[in-house]
């Protein structure tokens, strides 16, 4: 394992199970979202993802009924990371959604399957086709594959290594890592591997779960970090609650026609990848991405990892951040603030160093 992926050493994909199996005490009307606790109403993208989750569960007949139940407080929205789950962007996790089970050492963390390019649940889409695509994808992960994973876990450290060697920073760019995962999966279950065709982002939640497990297993001072579109926050080891600040939007490239679309604040639990030394801390190994974002990167972007991470694991050193006043960089998709368009670009978010202050 190269030094770049040190935090991911021994990461393994060991199972796929429904949320209800992993968290049986969690009620069906409790949904899990990215980032810290919501202070007030969820942003439109998260609200729409919650509606989709309730319809996926067939708990309500239509979007209006689901929306009304959320507005009336009949549905609880809780931070996914407080339950050992990480979820990308606006995606909301419900009881019958399948979750990857990933282990680093004896620590397990979980993340949902993602159904492919837009329109997709993680972008806050209300398109019913996104739900149907997730159902089809879930059906491809049958008992045969899960039995194989339980008997012989898939080596995610090798997937990370393939991504790094292929020029991925394993967050915004995951093509090489995704190809390595598909190849490994094809040797076990051709049906599941075929289902991943056209779904290059499928590998990302697995890497998120591995990063989340690594933060706990490798004794990181910060064990949860992410944004909910309104606030960005972190939770320190042993702390009951989150420290959070208003989330500014990521800055970066926009899709054609969305140059002036108002962006949502930073959102998603995928910041755990960047906190483990990849993503925004690994732009030096993704020169194409660094060149694409050159105009929006801080001057020390390619050196940030050396300044604020532990040399062995690559995990961010919270003490170094507080001392230097420079936060970790997070590579994030940009969603529109109104929840009408979904994905409008990709860019970088600099975590406010004030979140790391002691006291």
- pLDDT per residue as tens digits for the range 234-261: 999 999 899 999 999 999 999 999 999 9
Whether cis (ω within 30° of 0) applies to the bond prior to 110 is: no
- For the entire predicted model, the pTM comes to 0.97
Q: Cα–Cα distance between 73 and 261 in angstroms, integer?
A: 30
**Is the distance from CB of 152 to CB of 196 less than 8 angstroms?**
no
Query: The tokens of 304 are what?
Result: 């940030």
Distances from the Cα of 352 to the Cαs of 71, 231, 289, in angstroms? 31, 11, 22
Strand partners, 30: 76
CB atoms within 10 A of CB 181: 25
Nearest to 121 by CA among 96, 80, 89, 76: 89
**Is the distance from CB of 214 to CB of 307 less than 8 angstroms?**
no
**Cα dihedral value 249, 5, 282, 332, nearest 10:** -20
pLDDT tens by residue, the chain, 359 residues? 788 999 999 999 999 999 999 999 999 999 999 999 999 999 999 999 999 999 999 999 999 999 999 999 999 999 999 999 999 999 999 999 999 999 999 999 999 999 999 999 999 999 999 999 999 999 988 788 889 999 999 999 999 999 999 999 999 999 999 999 999 998 888 888 888 878 989 999 999 999 999 999 999 999 999 999 999 999 999 998 999 999 999 999 999 999 999 999 999 999 999 999 999 999 999 999 999 999 999 999 999 999 999 998 999 999 999 999 999 999 999 999 999 999 999 999 999 999 998 76
Tell me the three-class secondary structure of the chain, residue by residue.
CCHHHHHHCCCEEEEEEEHHHHCCCCCCCEEEECCCCCCCCCCHHHHHHHHHHHHHCCCCCCHHHHHHHHHCCCCEEEEHHHHCECCCCCCCECCCCEEEEEEECCEEEEEECCCCCCCCHHHCCCCHHHHHHHHHHHHHCCHHHHHHHHHCCEEHHHHHHHHHHCCCCCCCCCHHHHHHHHHHHHCCCHHHHHHCCCCHHHHHHHHHHHHHHHHHHCCCCEEEEEEECCEEEEEECCCCCCEEEECCCCEEEECCCCCCCCECCCEECCHHHHHCCCHHHHHHHCHHHHHHCHHHCCCCHHHHHHHHECCCCCCECHHHHHHHCCCCEEEEEEEECCCCCCEEEEEEEECCHHHHCCC
Nearest to 222 by CA among 19, 7, 1: 7
Q: What is the pLDDT of residue 102?
A: 98
Q: Cα–Cα distance between 359 and 356 in angstroms, integer?
A: 9
Q: CATH: 3.40.50.1100, 3.30.1050.10, 3.90.1700.10, 3.90.660.10. Which one for 3-356?
A: 3.90.1700.10
**Is the distance from CB of 293 to CB of 22 less than 8 angstroms?**
no
């Amino acid at each position: 394992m190269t030094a770049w992926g040190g935090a991911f050493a021994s990461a393994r994909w060991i199972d796929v199970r429904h949320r209800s199996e992993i968290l049986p005490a969690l009620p069906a009307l409790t949904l899990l979202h990215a980032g810290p606790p919501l202070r007030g109403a969820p942003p439109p993208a998260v609200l729409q993802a919650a509606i989709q989750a309730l319809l996926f569960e067939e708990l309500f007949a239509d979007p209006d009924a689901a929306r009304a139940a959320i507005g009336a407080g009949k549905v609880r929205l809780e931070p996914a990371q407080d339950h050992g789950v990480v979820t990308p962007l606006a995606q909301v996790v419900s009881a019958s959604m399948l979750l990857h089970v990933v282990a680093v050492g004896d620590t397990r963390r979980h993340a949902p399957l993602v159904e492919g390019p837009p329109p997709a649940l993680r972008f806050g889409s209300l398109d019913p086709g996104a739900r149907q695509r997730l159902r089809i994808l879930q059906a491809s992960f049958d008992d045969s594959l899960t039995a194989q994973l339980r008997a012989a876990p898939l080596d995610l450290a090798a997937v990370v290594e393939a991504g790094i060697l292929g020029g991925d920073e394993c967050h915004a760019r995951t093509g090489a890592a995704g190809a390595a995962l598909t190849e490994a999966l094809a040797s076990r279950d051709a049906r599941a591997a075929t289902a991943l065709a056209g779904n290059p982002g499928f590998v990302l939640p697995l890497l998120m779960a591995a990063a989340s497990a690594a933060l706990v297993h490798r004794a990181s001072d910060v064990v949860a970090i992410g944004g909910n579109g309104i606030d960005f926050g972190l939770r320190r080891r042993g702390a009951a609650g989150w420290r959070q600040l208003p989330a500014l939007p990521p800055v970066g490239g926009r899709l054609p026609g969305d140059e002036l679309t108002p962006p949502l604040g930073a959102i998603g639990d995928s910041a755990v990848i960047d906190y483990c030394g990849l993503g925004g801390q690994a732009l030096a190994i993704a020169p194409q991405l660094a060149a694409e974002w050159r105009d929006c990167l801080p001057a020390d972007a390619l050196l940030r990892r050396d300044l604020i991470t532990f040399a062995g694991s690559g995990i961010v050193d919270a003490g170094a951040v507080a001392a230097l006043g420079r936060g970790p960089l997070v590579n994030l998709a940009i969603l529109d603030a109104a929840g009408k368009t979904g994905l409008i670009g990709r860019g970088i978010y600099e975590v406010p160093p004030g979140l790391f202050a002691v006291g």
